[in-house]
Amino acid sequence: MVNLIGTYECKADAKGRLMVPSALKKQLAPMLQDGFVLKRSVFQPCLELYPMQEWNVLMQKINGLNRFKKKNNDFIRRFTAGVKMVEVDSNGRLLIPKDLVGFAGINKEIVLSSAVNIIEIWDKDKYENTIDETSDDFAELAEEVMGNDDLDAIS
């Protein structure tokens, strides 16, 4: 299991390429050779960058779904819509495909935010707005999610 740390600001060029910040690249170094999967987020207007190892773990769960149940089949189709395999090139850049740039509304300013085992890729303004919107409810959310006396139930 990967545990990524940090929030980084960077810029995208006209082709949708971003330079992966060196502190993040160091954390991703063991995974660079295997590549990554980039997909639309389910809950937010951002992208999710999965190291291939983490994507494969997720796909094992999804492969366990019964595809003869319509809701499972619909979920799989929507979950994997727009999924792309991507790599960090020899110059340390990551190319975000145009359709995913459009989905996330990414302009020039980008935020790369670690989310435990994946990296969220946000348009900077959308990221700041989302953080601001959820700040009032965060104490309540933290108590509900993490305030459980039996933390073993989470795993």
List the chain domain ranges: 7-147
Residue 94: exposed, middle, or buried by beta-carbon count in 10 A (0-12, 13-18, 19+)?
A: buried
pLDDT at 119: 97
pLDDT by 10-residue block (mean), the chain, 155 residues:
90 92 93 95 95 95 94 94 93 94 94 95 94 78 78 56
Sign of CA dihedral 117, 63, 47, 142: negative
Instruction: Say if CB 58 and CB 42 are below 8 A apart.
Output: no
Please, what's the largest Cα pairwise distance for the chain?
Answer: 49
pLDDT at 147: 84
pLDDT at 25: 93
CATH 3.40.1550.20 fits 7-147, yes or no: yes
pLDDT at 138: 79
pLDDT at 150: 61
pTM of the full predicted structure? 0.87
Please state at what angle helix 124-135 crosses helix 138-146, rounded to 10 degrees: 80
